[in-house]
Amino acid sequence: MPFDCILAPSTEELKDRAQLNRKTLIDITYQTGGSYLAQALSVIDLMTAVFYRYLKLNPSQLDWDGRDRFLLSPGHYALPLYVILANLGYFDSSVLYTFKENGSPAELISHRHTLPGVEISGGSLGQVLSIGVGMALHAKLRAKAHKIFVMMSDGEQDEGQIWEAASSASHFGLNNLIALIDKNGFQVDGPTQGVMNMEPLAEKYRAFGWDVAEVNGNEMDEIVKALDEFVSKGTKPCLLIGNTIRGKGISFLENNIDFHYTRLDKSLKDKANCELTGDWDAGM
């Protein structure tokens, strides 16, 4: 059966789940030789909230028409998506430990046809909001009740296609579209404001006709409060900007430009687990 919103977890349960997801992310990064871990740790609270509290899903019926769609735009954020999908029962968790191996369906960059539950191929930054607009318009024209959630990064807000999609979403009144931005302040070339300053980002989206909430994207209470309102009362396309810390919870990763891609030796893995759980032997 599809997940039932009546059984939606509390914020405390979501915090616990996000913490467990963080631990898994660290373990897989260590076991498989590397990942985009800092980005995964910044976005995991937002993605945990969306998947476990809001999305209507049915892992046993992948083509169920009534499911909500979650579209991941930054494909290099694939690992947190895989961790969540495995936990929800889309595939066996052992697949996670083949991450990015030759022939593994758990590719480094998310790809639609390799793992169940992955709705879109990511990685071409700036394009997936347009796809979300198309899906939301399709649903609206056919009086479908499902929603489209689009997860973006702050770096891709530089792309002009983002703003064409934002304008279209407002023009067509797509109140079934909810976008999120992991605003962690970094992209591959450095701090986002130094590469291309898009501030004030929230006001730009409001000027394009969106409802916007800006919250601490690593505080579950704030995330849930904003998304509860969007899901229940949304009359426009909605955007949640989550101000996050890249590498959240791990001191040597937090806002460290040297860790766009992260490899962990045993000492760094142990340090990360110790900071996350308070137990030096955690995850061994």
The string of DSSP codes covering 155-220 is GGGGSHHHHHHHHHHHHTT-TTEEEEEEE-SEETTEEHHHH----SHHHHHHHTT-EEEEEETT-H
The residue-averaged pLDDT of 227-254 equals: 95
pLDDT tens digits for range 14-73: 999 999 999 999 999 999 999 999 999 999 999 999 999 999 999 999 999 999 999 999
pLDDT at residue 8, rounded to an integer: 83
pLDDT at residue 279, rounded to an integer: 59
pLDDT tens digits for range 151-182: 999 999 999 999 999 999 999 999 999 999 99
pLDDT band at 235 (very low <50, low <70, confident <90, very high): confident
Closest CA to 49 of 242, 232, 186, 206: 242
pLDDT at residue 233, rounded to an integer: 82
Read off the pTM: 0.95
The residue-averaged pLDDT of 79-86 equals: 98
pLDDT at residue 2, rounded to an integer: 43
**Percent of the chain residues past pLDDT 90, beyond the cut:** 90
Phi-psi region of 159 (alpha: psi -120 to 50; beta: other; left: phi over 0): beta
Q: b vs e for 130-155, b when ≥16 Cβ sit within 10 Å of the residue's Cβ? A: bbbbebbbebbeeeeebbbbbbbbbb
pLDDT at residue 7, rounded to an integer: 61
Q: What is the DSSP letter of 35?
A: B
Structural contact between residues 174 and 147, judged by C-beta atoms closer than 8 angstroms: no
The residue-averaged pLDDT of 69-90 equals: 98
pLDDT at residue 3, rounded to an integer: 45
pLDDT band at 281 (very low <50, low <70, confident <90, very high): low
pLDDT tens digits for range 181-217: 999 999 989 999 999 999 999 999 999 999 999 999 9
pLDDT at residue 123, rounded to an integer: 82
The secondary element (H helix, E strand) that includes residue 227 is helix 220-233
pLDDT at residue 225, rounded to an integer: 97
pLDDT band at 282 (very low <50, low <70, confident <90, very high): very low
List the domains of the chain with CATH numbers. Answer: 10-277 (3.40.50.970)
